C-alpha cells in the first residue's frame, strides 16, 4: 500500500512559496542589472569562477560542478560566451581528461566593469534587505540543502 502523502502544513506552504517568490525577485533584479553589461546571472557566475581559478581556467567538468549547471547547459552558455570572446576553450595534448575553459582578457575586463553594480544589487536586494541574523540563518539552511545533496549522491 502506498503511504499517504504528507502535505505541507499551512505555515510550511507559506514559507515555501515566499521562498519561491523571493528567489524569483532576486533573479529578476540581478538579471536586469547584469543585462546592462550584456550578461545574465549564469554567465556572470562563470566569469567569477574562472577569474578565481589557477591560470584563470578550469576543466569544463569542474566548471559545471562549481556553478551547479548541467554539462549540456554549460556547453551551450560557454559557446555563446566564446563567440563574444569572453572565454576560450582549449584542449591540452598532455591531458586527455577533456577540454578546459579559459577566461580571456576581454572576459576579465567585462567582469571588472560589471562587478561593482552587481555587488551593489546583491547588497540591496538580499544582504541588507534581510539583515545579518537571518542572512546567516539562510547560509546555514542552504549549506544543509547542499550537504543533504552530497549525502544522497554517496
Task: Please enumerate in sequence order all residues whose Cβ is within 8 A of that of 41, keeping only pairs 6 or more positions apart, or say none.
Answer: 27, 30, 31, 34
In which element (H, E) is residue 102 found?
strand 99-103
Q: Is 69 in the site for a second copy (CB under 8 A)?
A: yes
Q: Is 93 in the site for a second copy (CB under 8 A)?
A: no
Stretch that binds a second copy, among 55-63, 79-87, 95-103, 146-154 (CB under 8 A): 146-154
Q: Which residue is listed with cell 500500500?
A: 1
Residue 23's SS3 state is helix
Q: Is 112 in the site for a second copy (CB under 8 A)?
A: no
Q: Is 108 in the site for a second copy (CB under 8 A)?
A: no
Query: What's the length of the chain?
Result: 154
- Residues interacting with a second copy, by CB under 8 A? 5-8, 11-12, 14-16, 18-26, 28-29, 45, 67-70, 115-116, 119-120, 122-127, 129-131, 133-149
Amino acid at each position: 500500500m502506498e503511504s499517504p502523502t504528507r502535505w505541507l502544513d499551512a505555515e510550511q506552504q507559506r514559507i515555501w512559496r515566499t521562498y519561491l517568490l523571493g528567489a524569483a525577485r532576486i533573479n529578476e533584479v540581478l538579471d536586469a542589472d547584469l543585462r546592462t553589461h550584456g550578461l545574465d546571472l549564469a554567465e556572470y557566475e562563470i566569469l567569477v569562477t574562472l577569474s578565481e581559478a589557477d591560470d584563470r581556467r578550469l576543466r569544463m567538468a569542474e566548471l559545471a560542478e562549481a556553478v551547479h549547471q548541467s554539462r549540456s547547459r554549460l556547453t551551450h552558455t560557454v559557446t555563446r560566451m566564446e563567440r563574444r570572446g569572453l572565454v576560450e576553450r582549449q584542449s591540452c595534448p598532455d591531458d586527455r581528461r577533456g577540454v578546459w575553459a579559459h577566461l580571456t582578457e576581454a572576459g576579465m575586463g567585462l567582469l571588472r566593469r560589471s562587478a561593482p553594480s552587481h555587488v551593489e544589487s546583491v547588497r540591496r536586494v538580499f544582504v541588507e534587505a534581510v539583515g545579518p541574523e537571518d542572512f546567516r540563518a539562510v547560509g546555514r539552511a542552504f549549506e544543509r540543502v547542499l550537504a543533504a545533496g552530497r549525502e544522497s549522491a554517496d
